A and B are shown apart, each in its own frame.
Chain A
Amino acid sequence: MADSGKLLSQLADRISYLIDIKGSSAWINLKELQDRVQGLRHSLFEIKEADLYNEIDRIEDRVSFMEDRVAKKLSPAEIVNIVRSVQRFTLIDILENVYDSYTELGGEGECNLDPAVVVARATISRRVKNKLYSHQVMVIGHEKGRGEEYRNGGCAKPWGNDKALRYMMVAETEGIPIHFFIFTPGSYPVEDYPGAAQQIARNIYVMARLRVPMVSFISEGGSGGAEAIGLSDFRLMGSRGYYSVISPEGAAAIEGKIREGEKVPKDLIEHCATQLKITASDNLKLGTIDRIVEEPPLGAKREDYAFFRRLRYEMLRATDEIVLKTKNFRAFRAYALRRQTEEGKNVPEDFDVAISWNLTELEIDRLLELRSKKYREMGKDFFLKKSKGLAQRFRRAKDLASRGYYELRYGLLRPHHRNVQKVIEEVSSEGSVFFKKVTEPVRAAYDFVFPQPKRPAKVVSSEGSDRRSIFAEEWEPYLSPLANEDRTVTCPNASKYGCMDLWVPDLYGEFCGVCPNCGHHFPLEYQWYLKNLFDKDSVREFNNHIASSNPLGFRGFDARLRRDIRRTGRMSSIITFDARVFGIRLVVAMLFSNFRGGTVGAAEGEKFVRACDIAKTTRRPFLAYVHTTGGIRIQEGTLGVVQMPKCTLAVREYIESGGLYIVVYDNNSYAGPVASFLGCSLYQFGIRSSRIGFAGPRVIRETTGRNVPPGYHSAKNALRRGHIQGIWDRREFRKNLYDALMTMGGHNLYYR
């Protein structure tokens, strides 16, 4: 006979789990059942044993019946509740049950740089024909703990993510695969060094080209926090997990324009959870994950050993597949086919083959190539392509042609180029007239093939008239529409610095939106930069036909999108173009505020990636000017989130090919983009009075309970924390950009 106390406590757990899922005990008669169990536990020894067991059986029946009912119709919001239940398995359970042995690195419970991030060296094994083969892996993941406060619910602090990064690099050194386990509602949004956004960006940047196979498993994938350890070659997701751009509550607060402190209506949260497409099957459809790991209908709990067995199998299999794909395609196909026939069956007891996870250098290169391809494909089907006209085809033809030209010029001829250069330098350094005569014609022919990059002559440039003033069009600059009003405004620093009220036509005209007294920068529309930052008439936009859409069918979003398209005359929040600054040609991606607050979705990501690639093929410096970005567009759900790794990957490839990537933040730059493809730039600058960060003051307050002082996200503080490399005055933007291009680009400007 089973111990009745134990049975009752199990029942109590099952009931409270149902209450967790339903969000309240008011559903049907959960409350009553709970009371009944409680009552039995109190009067355990006063009731006759037979009656007791009868009662337990009856309750058991009820509970099972209700579990079936709940499982049959699980709403996305209920899945979120499953994920957040204290009864759900955590990383420690995985380490205990999926891996054979493990050693936690850099942490012991609370004694830990960040207890929310757990790293372990572990072994995972498989049986092949009764022989045991084991593999070494690095396990990195979030630990939600069992309600301990120090685990912080799996919210990694910036230094926790830094710890994760360090061990990723250890794995790279050792050449062992990494298994990531994502159990996070989101990152802890503080700016303290190394900074939430900047650290995530660094992680993604490194993961983009980490030279080991990586598999990630998502249980709770909370946006940016998930991406910090989420970029991998194979993405698994628990069938009762969720992966989302934002918590349903957060989305509801934004959608419902709920003010701070007010309660967010439950049905709005339900609605958002549904709209955001956060479940495993949704994500599989969107292509943001590769495979689902089946859990029990109500989700796996701590003691679901069958699930852990399955997870072990899936982790092995995913790693195998990554490895095999790098070896040769036929081997992989054979492997995959064999597995496919087994699909749907229970997890097999043993594997047919033992596959070594060691890769050769060549295979690693192939691994990176596949990774790049994988992410570049993500979200590709989820933006619109408008007006496929002649112009576009022409553009394509031109792209192809120019690629050929540039490849010829920089690819094939490059080694030769260097040699010739060297010879000529050696010869001409002799400096004698005799040598000069000999070398002159040679040089002339050489210059014809390799024209010198055109740079304004630095010394005695009496014709350098475009340097006469910072704004070349000295007295008649572009007139901001803001300037058309006869009124004055007060500088926000007036009480501190005694600034006088500013006449609007002066402020937005000649003063370039800058208070002449204290230097405060008032926001200016993005068109101002198009006109004032670049050489006159040098801006040539491209990929204008790529348009934002509503890929998730988010209710009510179509109308908002249409409105912004009508209002701005643009199809997305990013403008990509070629331009010149004092004669230097560069490629620019500009995120601007008027279109959905400069948020990034599939279309924006694609345009960004293409701009990167154009900069790469044309060997030009690449500037990301962020007029404003409000983060990832929540209405595109995880399709938006995957733009973070996608764009970072493209940027990384551009930088590694020798490109110079400069990011300049203006106005407000927050969240996902900063935590990825912007924050990863080696050179980031802030325009004065701009704000840069991960999450705004309200989100920080709500998630950490901490009040942040005014100016917390200011460019000055970002500089102080080391997040940016400098602060630029808008009036000197053009000149600073030129200087930056010249000094950081150096002699071989943007290509090594």
Chain B
Amino acid sequence: MGINLNDLLRHYRSHIFEDYQVETPHTGVISYKVQDGQTVEGPSGEWLQRPGTLLYIIEREKNVKKMYTSWNGQVTGIRPDLEGHFVEAGEVVLSIRHRLDKNEIIDRILTQVLNILRAPQQARYFLSSDISAKLGKHPECRIAIEPGDEIVIMSLMKRDTAISYKEASGVLYKVYFRSGDIVEQGSPLLGICPSDRLQYVQEVVQRIRTDWENM
């Protein structure tokens, strides 16, 4: 099981930016609070209790909502034509050019090293109650997963189907989605590290950490 770490790192170094599109959550009249090129900060504080930079406000049914950024980066693609106007739900109002940090690079590279459980269909996904309870108590804990364990619930057409893990036993290393979100078919849901590969994965993580700084 080999990956060319150097190639991957080089790839990410040349693709260091990720553009996140910011969509309106619902209809309403919007008003921008940032400008193109402005640097914005994501949520901060020990418990991420302080929201990020205010991007825009949206008013619907006399309720003015403040919309904050979830990522740090630079604002691009502001649409001046929308300022002060009614917009529909899901309208892209700006983008955030986000520079990937070390941990995000690690997450991305790990998708090539871990056993990845991907969404079999576009549907809503939930973590199994067992796992979400454990993660709720200790977000950093590594949960052991055995083949046959029901780890994810797929909610499709109002019906829930449990998806069980089929590969070699290991530990849950990474959750790639937010419980209750709609996930596109083929997108990664969970990353599981087989027990025998745990050390290898840690080495990879360690190497990325050091190489990323040094390159």
Contact = CB atoms under 8 A, between A and B. Distances in A.
Chains A and B belong together in one complex: yes
Interface of A: 486-490, 498, 501, 503, 707, 709-710
14 contacts: A487-B61, A487-B62, A487-B63, A488-B61, A488-B63, A489-B63, A498-B180, A501-B60, A501-B61, A501-B63, A503-B61, A707-B46, A709-B47, A710-B49
Interface residues of B, number: 9
Interface secondary structure of A, over-half rule: loop
Interface in B34-70: 46-47, 49, 60-63, 65
A490 B65 contact: yes
Most buried by A among B47, B63, B65: B63
A488 B60 contact: yes
A302 to B, nearest CB: 42
Contacts of B180: 498
Interface secondary structure of B, over-half rule: loop
Nearest to A486: B62
Contacts of B46: 707, 709
In order of increasing CB-CB distance, the 8 nearest A-B pairs are A487-B62, A488-B63, A488-B61, A710-B49, A709-B47, A501-B63, A710-B47, A707-B46
A498 B179 CA distance: 12
Contacts of A488: 60-63
Interface string B160-182: 00000000000000000000100
Most buried by A among B60, B61, B180: B61
A490 B47 contact: no
A503 B62 CA distance: 10
A501 B26 CA distance: 11
Given A488-B62, A489-B63, A709-B49, 16 more contacts: A486-B62, A487-B61, A487-B62, A487-B63, A488-B61, A488-B63, A490-B65, A498-B180, A501-B60, A501-B61, A501-B63, A503-B61, A707-B46, A709-B46, A710-B47, A710-B49
A487 B63 CA distance: 6
A488 B62 CA distance: 6
Nearest to B180: A498
Contacts of A501: 60-61, 63
Contacts of B47: 709-710
Interface in B58-111: 60-63, 65
Nearest to B62: A487
Nearest to B47: A709
A710 B50 CA distance: 10
Contacts of B60: 488, 501
Contacts of A503: 61
Contacts of A707: 46
A501 B62 CA distance: 11
A490 B64 CA distance: 9
A630 to B, nearest CB: 23
A711 to B, nearest CB: 9
Nearest to A487: B62
Contacts of B49: 709-710
Contact of B63 (A490, A498, A709, A710): A490
Contacts of B65: 490
A709 B49 CA distance: 8
A486 B62 CA distance: 8
A489 B62 CA distance: 8
Contacts of A710: 47, 49
A182 B150 CA distance: 60
Nearest to B49: A710
Nearest to A495: B25
A341 B188 CA distance: 91
A503 B63 CA distance: 10
A488 B26 CA distance: 14
Contacts of B62: 486-488
A490 B57 CA distance: 13
